[in-house]
Amino acid sequence: MDTNGTENGPDHGHQRSSRLAQGLGLLADMSRDFADTRDIAGTLSRALIHITEYLDAEGGALFLLEDERILRCQSSVGVIQIDGLTLPADQGVVGSVVQANAGRIVRDAQTEPDFDKSVDERTGFTTRSILCAPMSIADQCIGAIELINKHGSDGPFEDADLALLEILCSSAAMALLNARLAASLVEQERMKREIELAAEIQRNLLPAAGTSGFPLFGFNIPAREVSGDFFDYFTLADGRIAWCLGDVSGKGINAALLMAKTASLYRCLGKTETNPSALLARINDEIVETATRGMFVTLIGGIYDPANDTVCFANGGHEPPLYHSRDGIFHDFPAEAPPLGILACTDGNQFPQETVRLDGGSFYVFTDGVTEGKLPNGVSLGTEGVKRSLAKDANLPLDERLKAICRMLDRDDGALHDDITVLGIDAARPTLARREAPLGDQSFTYRFAARAELLQGARNAAREYLKSQGIAQAPINDIVLAVDEACQNIIRHAYRDPDKGDIVLDMALHTSADPASSLRTLVIYVRDFAPEIDAITVAPRKLEDTRPGGLGTHFIREIMDEVAYLRPREGIGNLLRMTKEIPPIH
């Protein structure tokens, strides 16, 4: 606005207020246009025409910043037609406005050092005065609108013109940023859906959870939606089990795609090529032929033969697998061959294979996400940590042993930086009926407060359930005693204060995995929510010792086939698992 009061005659005042009204009308029209449009470029062009007309300029141009370094003319109108013209973002009057993020009036272009005369030379047009304002929101400048030569003999542009252009430019900038944001949100949403689809397809590439009694168990926990890790196993026609575990270099979608390819190659070729050394060589050559430069796969592939209890495997550049013998000795097998996808095989023995007899021991394969995974104290688990955990849990079923490792690393505190993938083979101690397996309609759950006077009710309920399952009276009496003793241990040792918590009793009968067997396995879980108890404090007494105490635990061990103190998945309390084989009813 002109603050010089001498020109404020009645005519001027009328002109000003009607211009202001027009300006506001233009701003309103533009805002509406921007809000409604999907064609942001067309809307910007129309806005430029209106602005140029309204400010009575001979020509106008709208420049947008590209990559912070280039200004490109998006639209031009009037005497100059420079659509598509580019200039460095720090040159010319437009450049100076964008750099300073402030509008300016150039009253005499020909004497202005920032003015780039080359455009005039090309167009044959003479630029006299320039009005230019940045298109910016807060500190972010995304372009500028430049108007050339005020029409007729009105002279140069005025401060009021600049003020108005700045407002109009802000409105245009806001509309453009909104449109860009909306487009990027749509794109992000689309990408997210695609990644979810990819993750689902990837999960389907992994084998389904192992069935009870199957000698292999494995799992994969991706650090992101999609994973570069994988494992697989399947039973061959002759009863042997082919398995593999691998890790693709890198993370994210590209790693996931190479993972999908390698896993598919393994599954396809592994059905006919059962020699691990030859199989890895074939997969290697396939990947070398087509892999993206720089990406590779570490892979262990092998065969477990239940008939002679041997694991035969070849290791292409992967973390050494671990063998844990029956006597508790660990042995690892460092890779002698490079990862797959680096060099085509030149001789027949690039991936040498090794054979291990399980002999009551277990064989473990894992990715570096396990050994490099962080414990709560920030230290990596390391191979030694893996060994310690496996040794400590050696008497647990295979799946529990592997899950215990996973629980140390995947703690819901964002500690998981890399995918975790583990595979174990353990034939001598087949996995017991898995806790996660649906208990079915033959299961029993009874929850009660940990109080002595409620034990009789629990015993009666357990007795009824066992009777309904067709179990004979003598074993029922024994099992009920074991359950009662387990609950007593909780009441006496775990919950220090009476009335401080519940006991949950779960029982289920599982039929044998072996169809020829008519044995059934009764699995009982007794769960409490008390502070963790040390299994040593509930150790059985020595028999020659007739003092009371420890007798209950002795009963439990005497009656049940297997007794294990587990850590509940939820992390609080104690979980006792007892199993007993139930002979068939005659």
Partner 1 sequence: MDHSIREDRGALVVSLAGDVDLESSPRARTVLLDCVGQNRTVLVDMSAIDYIDSSGVASLVEAFQSARKAGSPFALVSVSEAALRVLQLARLDRIFTIHASLDDALADGS
**Tokens standing for residue 376:** 């709560």
**Tokens standing for residue 403:** 């899950």
Residues 112, 273, 485, 528: which binds partner 1 (CB under 8 A)?
A: 485
Site string for partner 1, 406-445 (x = CB under 8 A): ----------------------------------------
**Distance of alpha carbon 514 from alpha carbon 115, whole angstroms:** 90
552: contact with partner 1 by CB under 8 A = yes
Q: Of 526, 28, 427, which is closest to residue 213 (Cα–Cα)?
A: 427
Binding part of the chain for partner 1, among 175-183, 350-358, 439-447, 546-554 by CB under 8 A, reads 546-554
Least distance in angstroms from the C-beta of 479 to partner 1? 12
455: contact with partner 1 by CB under 8 A = yes
Q: Which is nearer to partner 1, 148 or 533 (by Cβ)?
A: 533
217: contact with partner 1 by CB under 8 A = no
537: contact with partner 1 by CB under 8 A = no
Q: Which is nearer to partner 1, 354 or 478 (by Cβ)?
A: 478
Least distance in angstroms from the C-beta of 482 to partner 1? 10
Q: What are the strands, taking DSSP E only, across 29-178? A: 57-66, 70-78, 86-88, 104-106, 130-137, 140-150
355: contact with partner 1 by CB under 8 A = no
495: contact with partner 1 by CB under 8 A = no
Q: Are strands 420-425 and 362-366 parallel, antiparallel or unpaired?
A: antiparallel
**Distance of alpha carbon 65 from alpha carbon 14, whole angstroms:** 39
Residues 198, 278, 345, 481: which binds partner 1 (CB under 8 A)?
A: 481
477: contact with partner 1 by CB under 8 A = yes
**Tokens standing for residue 32:** 């509406």
554: contact with partner 1 by CB under 8 A = yes
The SS3 assignment for 17 reads helix
**Distance of alpha carbon 86 from alpha carbon 12, whole angstroms:** 40
Residues 559, 560, 576, 578: which binds partner 1 (CB under 8 A)?
A: 559
Hey, what amino acid is at 29? D
Least distance in angstroms from the C-beta of 524 to partner 1? 16
Q: How many CB atoms lie within 10 A of CB 498?
A: 11
337: contact with partner 1 by CB under 8 A = no
Residues 38, 496, 547, 586: which binds partner 1 (CB under 8 A)?
A: 547
H-run or E-run covering 477:
helix 473-489
Q: How many residues bind partner 1 (CB under 8 A)?
A: 26
Q: By 3-state DSSP, what share of the chain in percent is helix, strand and coil, each rounded to 5? A: 40, 25, 35
> b/e per residue, 370-401, with b = 16+ CB within 10 A?
bbebbeeeeeebebebbbebbeebeebbbbbb
Provide long-range contacts, Cβ within 8 A and 24+ apart, for 201-209. 201/260, 202/226, 202/227, 202/230, 202/256, 202/259, 202/260, 205/230, 205/232, 205/259, 205/260, 205/263, 205/264, 206/230, 206/231, 206/232, 207/231, 207/232, 207/233, 207/234, 209/434, 209/436
Least distance in angstroms from the C-beta of 464 to partner 1? 14
563: contact with partner 1 by CB under 8 A = no
496: contact with partner 1 by CB under 8 A = no
Least distance in angstroms from the C-beta of 234 to partner 1? 46
The SS3 assignment for 433 reads coil
Q: Which is nearer to partner 1, 436 or 545 (by Cβ)?
A: 545
272: contact with partner 1 by CB under 8 A = no
Q: Which is nearer to partner 1, 81 or 488 (by Cβ)?
A: 488
548: contact with partner 1 by CB under 8 A = yes
Least distance in angstroms from the C-beta of 574 to partner 1? 18
Residues 201, 452, 535, 539: which binds partner 1 (CB under 8 A)?
A: 452
Asked whether the beta carbons of 236 and 274 are under 8 A apart, the reply is: yes
Binding part of the chain for partner 1, among 257-265, 270-278, 529-537, 545-553 by CB under 8 A, reads 545-553
DSSP, res 5: G
> b/e per residue, 155-185, with b = 16+ CB within 10 A?
ebbbeebbebbbebbbbbbebbeebeeeeee
499: contact with partner 1 by CB under 8 A = no
**Distance of alpha carbon 212 from alpha carbon 219, whole angstroms:** 15
Least distance in angstroms from the C-beta of 377 to partner 1? 41
558: contact with partner 1 by CB under 8 A = yes
Least distance in angstroms from the C-beta of 555 to partner 1? 6
Least distance in angstroms from the C-beta of 214 to partner 1? 34
Q: Which is nearer to partner 1, 99 or 477 (by Cβ)?
A: 477
Least distance in angstroms from the C-beta of 522 to partner 1? 18
Least distance in angstroms from the C-beta of 556 to partner 1? 9
211: contact with partner 1 by CB under 8 A = no
Residues 128, 374, 459, 567: which binds partner 1 (CB under 8 A)?
A: 459
530: contact with partner 1 by CB under 8 A = no
500: contact with partner 1 by CB under 8 A = no
Least distance in angstroms from the C-beta of 454 to partner 1? 8
DSSP, res 56: T
472: contact with partner 1 by CB under 8 A = no
449: contact with partner 1 by CB under 8 A = no
In DSSP terms, 322 is beta-bridged to 332, 364
Asked whether the beta carbons of 94 and 82 are under 8 A apart, the reply is: no
Geometric angle at alpha carbon 530, from 524 and 531, rounded to 5°: 120
C-alpha pair distances (Å), 353 with each of 164, 177, 232, 247, 314? 79, 60, 19, 19, 4
Instruction: Please give the residue ranges that form the binding site for partner 1 (CB under 8 A).
Output: 452-453, 455-456, 459, 474, 477-478, 480-481, 484-485, 488, 491-492, 543, 546-549, 551-552, 554-555, 558-559
